[in-house]
């Protein structure tokens, strides 16, 4: 890809933005190219939106106008899409994994029965016996597994969720409360994905992953399509005539960032906001991939407090979008996470650890004149943030916020 990294390793000067890398390959000022549209086609996004909006309990989550924050950071506006209110799961992940379970069950039941089956029939659990014979499986550091388990319970199939050894007991309990069986495995998130996939093949279970690899693309595509329900809502709720100038979006495997980046590009075309991807320093696979110009693997040895972002391998289908659609890549330390969560709590917004990475990156960038300039941030900037989870692990939230 080729990229310029003027601010690499900023910890030397005591700044919590650890690394910055501008993507020289970004396609600015043009409509979304067809090859990117093909990754997440309109038909796939529309099907997700039409299906999820029919789920019982669906309603758009709020878009908060953080006026005090905008004033403090000397920005025109800062808006925060608050996913703490997303169904009863309190994270945007409710839109991805559960929806993919619905699609996979539809296909499995069609294959078994030889009859056409609709997504609505799956939602209404019209094929209880056939669905009950299916087991879905996934790997998670918390929220995705919870979504898959929630979908499995809703649509009436079995569910096994693989969790690596560092996932908190609270996150395990939340998945088990939805009736799924949790299988603990040694290693990190990427090890748990491999273990789940191997066991899926051995047992004939259906793998519902939020990350993608060669030969496994359709299900993560549906997961990403589910996420665009969130970005679509945010753009519908956007209160200004002019689009956002910047989107700060946190990155794990990149599925979320890829979905949001593609979606704002479809909608705003040549006026696409500048997309800034923010990752935890010990799990900087997107940053490193941007710097190298190709997907790079990070062997995670230190777990960030931002558990949902602790992924070392880039999602294969997200990368083509981010490689030409994301403008900048930042990494941050864990230091600002607790303070930013507390700051939002004071404004009555419940934001979990992984939710605040985008805002933490923005605050840190505004504290650094050179970086602000490099990111094109100025007093007329209009920033859109995605607060991707609420207190999804209440014990961790309590510890960090008090
Ligand atoms: C709350 C939260 N935010 C962001 C992400 C990052 O999503 P992705 O792995 O698709 O990049 C996750 C992933 O689990 C998450 O749980």
Residue nearest to atom 8 of ligand 1 (CA): 252
Cα–ligand 1 centroid distance for 140 (angstroms): 10
Residues 140-165 have a mean pLDDT of: 97
Active site residue 68: no
For position 6, what pLDDT does the model report? Answer: 44
Active site residue 93: yes
Cα–ligand 1 centroid distance for 284 (angstroms): 13
For position 12, what pLDDT does the model report? Answer: 40
* Shortest-distance atom of ligand 1 to CA 83: 1
Verify whether ligand 1 is closer than 6 Å to residue 96 (CB atom).
Answer: no
User: CB under 8 Å to 28, separation ≥6 — which residues?
Assistant: 272, 327
For position 2, what pLDDT does the model report? Answer: 43
* Shortest-distance atom of ligand 1 to CA 251: 11
Q: Is the pLDDT of residue 11 over 80?
A: no
For position 104, what pLDDT does the model report? Answer: 98
* Shortest-distance atom of ligand 1 to CA 256: 10
Q: Which stretches of 88-164 are assigned E, i.e. beta strand?
A: 135-140, 158-164
For position 18, what pLDDT does the model report? Answer: 80
For position 1, what pLDDT does the model report? Answer: 39
| Cα–Cα distance, 219 to 131 (Å, whole number) | 18
For position 46, what pLDDT does the model report? Answer: 98
For position 16, what pLDDT does the model report? Answer: 64
Residues 311-318 have a mean pLDDT of: 97
Q: Let me know: does 94 contact 140? Beta carbons within 8 Å.
A: no
For position 233, what pLDDT does the model report? Answer: 98
Residues 111-127 have a mean pLDDT of: 97
Return the percentage of the chain with pLDDT > 90, whole number: 95
Q: Which of the residues 93, 123, 190, 281 is marked catalytic?
A: 93
- Could you tell me whether strands 382-387 and 206-207 are parallel, antiparallel, or unpaired per DSSP bridges? unpaired
Cα–ligand 1 centroid distance for 338 (angstroms): 18
* Shortest-distance atom of ligand 1 to CA 259: 10
The model carries a pTM of 0.96
For position 264, what pLDDT does the model report? Answer: 98
Verify whether ligand 1 is closer than 6 Å to residue 148 (CB atom).
Answer: no
Residues 182-208 have a mean pLDDT of: 97
Q: Which of the residues 82, 141, 284, 393 is marked catalytic?
A: 141
Return the percentage of the chain with pLDDT > 70, whole number: 96
Cα–ligand 1 centroid distance for 183 (angstroms): 20
| Cα–Cα distance, 10 to 383 (Å, whole number) | 23
| Cα–Cα distance, 130 to 108 (Å, whole number) | 9
List pLDDT tens digits, range 339-382. Answer: 999 999 999 999 999 999 999 999 999 999 999 999 999 999 99
> Across all residues in the chain, what is the average pLDDT?
95
Q: Which residues of 192-209 are buried (b: 16+ CB within 10 A; e: fewer)?
A: bbebbbebbeeeebbbbb
Q: Which two tokens stand for residue 147?
A: 């979504």
List pLDDT tens digits, range 212-258. Answer: 999 999 999 999 999 999 999 999 999 999 999 999 999 999 999 99
List pLDDT tens digits, range 132-149. Answer: 999 999 999 999 999 999
Q: Which domains does the chain have, with CATH numbers?
A: 3-91+225-401 (3.40.50.1100), 97-209 (3.40.50.1100)
Residues 325-342 have a mean pLDDT of: 97
The two counts, helices (H) then strands (E), for the chain are 17, 12
List pLDDT tens digits, range 34-43. Answer: 999 999 999 9
Q: Let me know: does 123 contact 155? Beta carbons within 8 Å.
A: yes
Verify whether ligand 1 is closer than 6 Å to residue 336 (CB atom).
Answer: no
Q: Let me know: does 305 contact 16? Beta carbons within 8 Å.
A: no
Verify whether ligand 1 is closer than 6 Å to residue 354 (CB atom).
Answer: yes
């Amino acid at each position: 890809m080729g990229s310029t990294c003027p601010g690499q390793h900023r910890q030397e000067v005591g700044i919590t933005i650890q690394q910055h890398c501008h993507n020289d390959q970004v396609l600015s000022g043009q409509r979304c190219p067809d090859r990117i549209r093909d990754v997440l086609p309109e038909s796939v996004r529309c099907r997700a939106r039409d299906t999820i909006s029919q789920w019982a309990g669906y309603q758009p989550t709020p878009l908060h106008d953080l006026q005090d924050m905008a004033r403090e950071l000397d920005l025109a506006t800062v808006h925060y899409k608050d996913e703490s209110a997303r169904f009863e799961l309190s994270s945007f992940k409710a839109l991805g994994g559960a929806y993919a379970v619905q699609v996979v069950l539809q296909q499995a039941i069609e294959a078994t029965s030889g009859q056409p089956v609709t997504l609505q029939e799956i939602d209404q659990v019209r094929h209880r016996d056939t669905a009950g014979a299916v087991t879905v499986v996934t790997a998670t550091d918390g929220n995705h597994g919870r979504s898959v388990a929630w979908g499995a319970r809703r649509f009436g199939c079995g569910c096994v969720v693989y969790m690596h050894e560092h996932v908190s007991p609270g996150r395990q309990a939340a998945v088990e409360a939805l009736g799924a069986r949790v299988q603990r495995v040694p290693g990190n998130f990427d090890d748990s994905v491999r273990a789940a996939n191997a066991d899926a093949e051995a047992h004939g279970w259906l793998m519902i992953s939020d990350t993608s690899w060669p030969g496994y693309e359709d299900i993560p595509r549906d997961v990403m399509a589910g996420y665009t329900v969130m970005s679509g809502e945010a753009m519908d709720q956007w209160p200004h005539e002019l689009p956002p100038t910047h989107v700060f979006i946190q990155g794990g495997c990149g599925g979320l960032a890829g979905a949001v980046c593609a979606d704002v590009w479809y909608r705003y075309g040549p006026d696409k906001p500048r997309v800034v991807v923010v990752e935890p320093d010990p799990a900087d696979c997107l940053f490193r991939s941007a710097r190298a110009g190709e997907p790079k693997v990070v062997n995670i040895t230190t777990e960030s407090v931002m558990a949902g972002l602790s992924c070392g391998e880039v999602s294969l289908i997200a990368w083509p979008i981010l490689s030409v659609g994301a403008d900048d890549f930042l990494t941050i330390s864990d230091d600002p996470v607790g303070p930013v969560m507390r700051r939002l709590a004071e404004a009555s917004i419940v934001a979990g650890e992984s939710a605040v990475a985008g805002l933490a990156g923005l605050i840190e960038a505004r504290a650094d004149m050179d970086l602000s300039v490099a990111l094109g941030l100025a007093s007329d900037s209009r920033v859109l943030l995605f607060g991707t989870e609420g207190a999804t692990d209440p014990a961790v939230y309590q510890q960090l916020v008090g």
